[in-house]
């Protein structure tokens, strides 16, 4: 409202000596209602029309509402006030634009927000869900995806392990996390990325970054900056599953991980410990010394050790053995060992050298054949005819693979055309012991055993008895 007095004259009376003089005064100046603008209690100018102020505030509120979709913007800034006053200044001398510009730049708009309290620390965010999601990311980082899914499934119990291995069975945040609502200055409200960083390392902005270049790898960048590759991906979730070409020239956050909260995880670890079996020996004088047979196979026993290991942000804080039990007892091994000592001296009780007794070429079946040829197949066992000492075992052109035994009682025996040898020179053998396998080596027309019994000497005799005379 403008107040104006028109046509009025003020008469000022001046007394000069004894005379009075009437002087005509100038018209009275016009009075105008204006608004003085204060920002943070400091006067910054005048505006002549409050509607212009309201329009500016509404425009700014509309723009901010688009930028902060989830918040409700307060209409009037908390640090701006208008005070109505009357001035004699002409309206055209008042700089409305300067005052409105100051308001546009310095007006402190507020929005609805969430105050997060973690322990003794507090901060204000635009989206409280980011905090809970980041806490879940941290739990997953420390436990792994599969285990955190089992932990979060409250309808299904986690099955205890029964064999070697480990699994996380619990995860929780040690600090109390509280969420409240309030109105806060927009400059103080953390956006989603700032909120996530605040939870991960207590700062809303990266403290250290590097650029992925042609010589880089995620593993190398992590190692150089004191991080694990998993921690680097936690700080930069946008890099997950990207190719090397996609990572090239990307700026990565390598700020040391320093969570605002402590995630306590509980792991079950099971160790199956083998209990060695014992070995029992049973002496048997029917077996040759050095020979053994396994009467019962040994088997280790098993003991289960179950432990509960607690970690705080990935570092072990405690270990407790919660169960020790025996799964199976060890089964001892039983070995029968021979004690019979071979003297190497024949008894004169001759043993037939094969399991077959068919003679294919008898004694002197041709001139100089002081032996018998016994029918045999390749690989058929050949036995020592009496106890004695092997004085030769090897190959000769006529005999092929052959064994010569001195029975230390005036007789020698030879076994020729063998497929393979089972003894070596110097071995002591007993009657009936396997010394090789029948074959067709040397000067032989077919698989058979050439068997000789010689008196006094092992050399080729001019005469040797008929082996059949000894049976």
**Averaged pLDDT of the chain:** 90
> What does the chain come to in residues?
471
Residue 192 pLDDT level (bands cut at 50, 70, 90): very high
Q: What is the pLDDT of residues 48-82, one digit of tens each?
A: 999 999 999 999 998 888 887 777 777 789 899 99
Quick one: 275 and 333 in the same domain? Answer: yes
Tell me: the pLDDT tens digits for 277-311?
999 999 999 887 888 999 999 999 999 999 999 99
Which of residues 253, 283, 312 is at a domain's end? 253
Output the pLDDT for position 1: 31
The per-residue pLDDT for range 298-352, each reduced to its tens digit, is: 999 999 999 999 999 999 999 999 999 999 999 999 999 999 888 889 999 999 9
Q: Are residues 143 and 202 in the same domain?
A: yes
- Confidence label for 368 from pLDDT (cuts 50, 70 and 90): confident
The answer to whether 443 touches 403, Cβ cutoff 8 Å, is: no
Q: Are residues 101 and 123 in the same domain?
A: no
Instruction: Report pTM.
Output: 0.63
370 and 318 in a common domain: no
Residues 92 and 124 both lie in one domain: no
Dihedrals φ, ψ of 92, to 5°? -75, -5
26 in any annotated domain: no
pLDDT for residue 456: 73
Beta bridge partner(s), residue 171 = 265
- Cβ neighbours around 98 below 10 Å, total: 14
The CATH number covering residue 333 comes to: 2.20.230.10
Within this chain, do residues 293 and 387 fall inside the same structural domain, yes or no?
no
**pLDDT, tens digit (0-9, with 9 covering 90-100), for 140-164:** 999 999 999 999 998 999 999 999 9
Place 16 in a pLDDT band, splitting at 50, 70 and 90: very low
Residue 258, in any domain of the structure: no
Task: Find how far residue 430's CA is from the centre of its chain.
Answer: 62
Sign of torsion, CA 234 240 244 250? negative
- Given 58, 89, 108, the domain boundary residue is 108
Looking at the fold, whether 292 and 214 belong to one and the same domain comes out as no
In-domain check, residue 20: no
3-state helix, strand, coil in the chain (%, to 5): 20, 40, 40
Domain that holds residue 93: 32-108
> Average of pLDDT values for 250-254?
97
Instruction: Report yes or no on 228 lying in a domain.
Output: yes
| 174 and 153 in a common domain | yes
Helices in 117-210 by DSSP H: which ranges?
Answer: 129-143, 145-152, 192-201
- 312 and 439: one domain? no
Residues 176 and 219 in one domain: yes
Q: Residue 267: CB partners within 8 Å, gap ≥ 6?
A: 166, 167, 168, 169, 308, 309, 310, 311
Residue 442 maps to which CATH number?
A: 2.70.70.10
**Residues 210 and 135 reside in one and the same domain:** yes
Query: Tokens 């037939």 identify what position?
Result: 352
What are 229-248's pLDDT values in tens digits? 999 999 999 999 999 999 99
How many domains does the chain contain in total? 4
């Amino acid at each position: 409202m403008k107040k104006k007095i028109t046509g009025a004259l003020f008469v000022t009376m001046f007394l000069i000596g004894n005379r009075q003089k009437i002087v005509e005064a100038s018209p009275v100046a016009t009075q105008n209602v204006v608004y003085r603008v204060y920002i943070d209690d400091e006067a910054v100018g005048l505006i002549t029309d409050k509607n212009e102020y309201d329009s500016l505030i509404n425009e700014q509120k509309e723009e901010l509402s688009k930028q902060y979709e989830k918040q409700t913007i307060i209409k009037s800034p908390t640090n701006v006030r208008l005070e109505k006053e009357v001035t004699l200044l002409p309206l055209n001398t008042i700089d409305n634009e300067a005052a409105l510009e100051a308001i546009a730049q310095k007006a402190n708009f507020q929005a609805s927000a969430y105050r997060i309290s973690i322990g003794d620390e507090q901060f204000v965010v635009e989206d409280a869900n980011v905090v809970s999601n980041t806490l879940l990311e941290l739990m997953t980082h420390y436990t792994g995806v599969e285990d955190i899914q089992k932990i979060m499934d409250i309808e299904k119990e986690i099955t205890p392990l029964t064999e070697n291995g480990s699994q996380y069975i619990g995860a929780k945040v040690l600090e109390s996390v509280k969420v409240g609502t309030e109105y806060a200055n927009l400059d103080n409200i953390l956006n989603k990325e700032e909120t996530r960083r605040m939870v991960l390392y207590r700062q809303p902005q990266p403290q250290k970054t590097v650029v992925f270049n042609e010589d880089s790898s995620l593993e190398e960048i992590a190692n150089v900056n004191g991080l694990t590759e998993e921690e680097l991906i936690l700080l930069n979730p946008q890099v997950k599953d990207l190719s090397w070409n996609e990572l090239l020239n990307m700026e990565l956050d390598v700020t040391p991980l320093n969570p605002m909260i402590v995630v306590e995880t509980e792991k079950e670890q099971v160790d199956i410990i083998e209990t060695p079996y014992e070995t029992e020996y049973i002496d048997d004088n029917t077996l040759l010394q050095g020979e053994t047979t396994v009467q019962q196979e040994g088997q280790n026993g098993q003991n289960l050790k179950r432990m509960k290991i607690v970690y705080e942000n990935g570092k072990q804080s405690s270990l407790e053995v919660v169960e020790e039990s025996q799964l199976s007892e060890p089964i001892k091994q039983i070995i029968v060992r021979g004690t019979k000592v071979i003297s190497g001296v024949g008894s004169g009780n001759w043993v037939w050298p094969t399991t077959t007794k068919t003679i294919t070429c008898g004694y002197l079946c041709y001139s100089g054949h002081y032996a018998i040829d016994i029918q045999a197949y390749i690989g058929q066992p050949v036995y020592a005819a009496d106890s004695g000492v092997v004085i030769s075992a090897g190959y000769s052109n006529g005999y092929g693979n052959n064994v010569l035994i001195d029975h230390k009682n005036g007789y020698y025996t030879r076994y020729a055309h063998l497929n393979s040898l089972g003894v070596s020179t110097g071995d002591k053998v007993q009657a009936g012991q396997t010394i090789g396998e029948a074959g067709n080596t040397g000067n032989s027309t077919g698989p058979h055993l050439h068997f000789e019994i010689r008196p006094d000497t092992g050399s080729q005799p001019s005469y040797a008895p008929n082996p059949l005379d000894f049976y």
